[in-house]
Structure 1
Amino acid sequence: MGALDSTTAIVTGSSRGIGAEVARLLAEQGAAVVVNYRQKAPRAKKVVSGIEAAGGRAVAVGADLTSPDGAQALVDAAVQNFGGLNLLVLNASGGMETGLGEDYALKLNRDAQVGMLQAALEVMPVGSRVVFVTSHQAHFINSVATMDAYEPVARSKRAGEDALRDLIPALTERGISFVVVSGDMIEGTVTATLLDRAAPGAIEARRQEAGRLYSVEEFAAEIVAMATADVPTGHTEYVGGAEHFTR
């Protein structure tokens, strides 16, 4: 018996990187997982195939969370394939991509997060949990400056966190808890690579400041732990290097 045998989860942005590892670990513990991708269907299907090969349950669903029907497609997939939904991991983020418009970061990191949660709330029962994944650079952006290249993303992610936290009273009324997992720069992620390209040496500088940086696998394990952790709603779990931002 796995710790999450009775759980159905949606993990947004889970065709690669942190989201894919979160999906794999959730399935390893017994959860049925909706793996979300925006464009790269083969990558998402590979994640699902890996989960199924290990005896888990998963389905890949293409959905652009910034589109009106994207969030609903994920909720429908959870209900139709696995009978419900009681864990929502809001992992999808972006804004450093080119050609998607100046307001894309805010659309994805704030508006789409709220839209995804609102769609999920229609089917999530009492005892469900929502986990929002962010970075220290975004979580602390109002008090600690970040790299110029990342500031628009950081501010949009902080706006998303604030908008989600505004929904905590409504979540509490429904018996649904909300937690935030905030991580330092994570080795091997697309964001870290883009930041290092924009500001050469950024990863090494942050590694020196923090002592070490978490890997994708390590950070994903911390996110999965928060799916069932006995913490109060509104809790923020800091993963690696937060002392630099709080001193």
Structure 2
Amino acid sequence: MTDHKPRVAIVTGASKGIGAAIAQRLASDGAAVIVNYAHSRASAERLVGDIEGAGGKALAVQADVASAEGLQSLFDAAEQAFGQADILVNNAGIMELAPIADVSDEAFERQIAINLGGVVRGMREGARRLRDGGRIISFSSSVVGLYQPSYGIYAATKAATEALTHILAKELGQRAITVNAVAPGPVETALFTRGKSDDQIAAIARMNPLGRLGRPEDIADVVSFLAGTDSGWVNGQVIRANGGVI
């Protein structure tokens, strides 16, 4: 990766949870960060204020990653505010659980549009517009491989993300752009805890060899490594950041 400063990062779904932790970490690493949000404007602007208060650079940008124009607008905003992007983190996603027999067309289409469509559009735009030597980091999940009931559609979108990661890494190798994915296990965020009782959450935490749920900062640490210069020989990989649960 080139040595110009600052590097420019785009983080989708960055207003809260894992995405917010990633945006903060990349900013602390010296990157100027586009903080993408779909609906949570106040949270995104608060995060930008925190980053700027710590001496970093950030800009909140609303965009729907499920739309054809969403990723284009994020790259446009990055280039206008900070310059050509170096890092793309495809973090935006939703999780709607149901047995396959009970999945509605609407729930299926929403997850495909955001979890898979957002990644495809992000990868496509990143392949066209990232600076040579850049980084594309997408999000899978450790549910890929567990094959748990009710996770069918969500897991399918994440399995597809892993396949795309392997292929794009080979397509962009000549430009020294690395393409990797992070597959978290259970992380203590609203996306994971929604709909679960305290007893259920505690039981899941006990299943982990480390005896706890992941924290957003645990995942941001992995993304920081993949986004930095030390990971230049890591390409086309899926890192299962899950505390050893599988």
TM-score after normalising by structure 2: 0.87
After TM superposition, list the pairs within 5 Å mapping 1:18-37 onto structure 2: 18-37=18-37
2:201 alignment partner in structure 1: 203
Structure 1 residues 147 and 212: alpha-carbon distance in aligned structure 2, compared to 1, 3 A threshold: farther
> Counterparts of 1:219 and 1:50 in 2: how far apart (Å)?
19
Q: Which moved more, 1:200-209 or 1:85-94?
A: 200-209
User: Which piece of structure 1 moves more, 164-173 or 39-48?
Assistant: 164-173
**1:134 aligned to 2:140?**
yes
Distance verdict in 2 for CA 1:147–1:204, change over 3 Å: farther
| Structure 1: runs of 5+ lacking an equivalent | none
Q: Cα–Cα, structure 1 residues 185 and 215, in superposed 2: closer, same or farther, change >3 Å?
A: same
1:70 corresponds to 2:70: yes
Aligned CA distance change for structure 1 residues 95 and 116 (closer, same or farther; 3 Å): same
Alignment match of 1:114 (pick from 107, 117, 120): 120
The match for 2:221 is 221
C-alpha spacing 1:238/1:95, structure 2 compared with 1 (3 Å): closer
Q: Is the contact between residue 169 and residue 180 of structure 2 (CA under 8 Å) also seen in structure 1?
A: no
Following the alignment from structure 1 to structure 2, what is the Cα–Cα distance between the partners of residues 181 and 147? Answer: 22
Superposed CA deviations along residues 155-199 of structure 1, whole A, max 9, x for unmatched, are 212122212322222111332101222211001x122112525xx
Partner of 2:182: 181
Amino acid at match of 1:238: R
Which stretch shows the higher mean deviation, 150-159 or 53-62? Answer: 150-159
Alignment CA distance shift 1:86-1:232 (3 Å): same
- d(CA) in 2 for partners of 1:35, 1:205: 34
> 2:168 & 2:224 partners in 1: Cα distance?
22
Partner residue of 1:157? 158
Q: In the alignment, what sits opposite 2:172?
A: 171
SS in structure 1 at match of 2:172: helix
- Aligned partner of 2:101 in structure 1 is none
Structure 2, unaligned runs of 5 or more: 98-103
Kept after mapping to 1: 8 A contact 2:12/2:19: yes
CA distance in structure 2 between the partners assigned to 1:63 and 1:82 by the alignment: 18
The answer (yes or no) to whether the contact 2:8–2:85 under 8 Å persists in 1 is: yes
Matches within 5 A, 1:44-59: 44-59=44-59
CA distances 1:71-126 after superposition (whole Å, capped 9, x unpaired): 10000011111111011111111132999643111111112201111112222122
- For 1:232, the equivalent position in structure 2 comes to 234
Q: Is 161-170 or 17-26 further displaced after alignment?
A: 161-170
CA deviation after TM superposition for structure 1 residue 35, in Å: 0.3
The range that moved more, 200-209 or 50-59, is 200-209
CA distance, structure 2, for counterparts of residue 99 and residue 110 of structure 1: 16
C-alpha distance in 2, partners of 1:182/1:101? 22
Q: Structure 2: which amino acid aligns with 1:154? A: A
Taking every aligned residue pair, what percent have the same amino acid on both sides? 32
- Give, in whole Å, the separation in 1 of the partners of 2:115 and 2:162: 8
The amino acid that maps onto 2:118 is: A
CA RMSD of aligned residues (A): 2.3
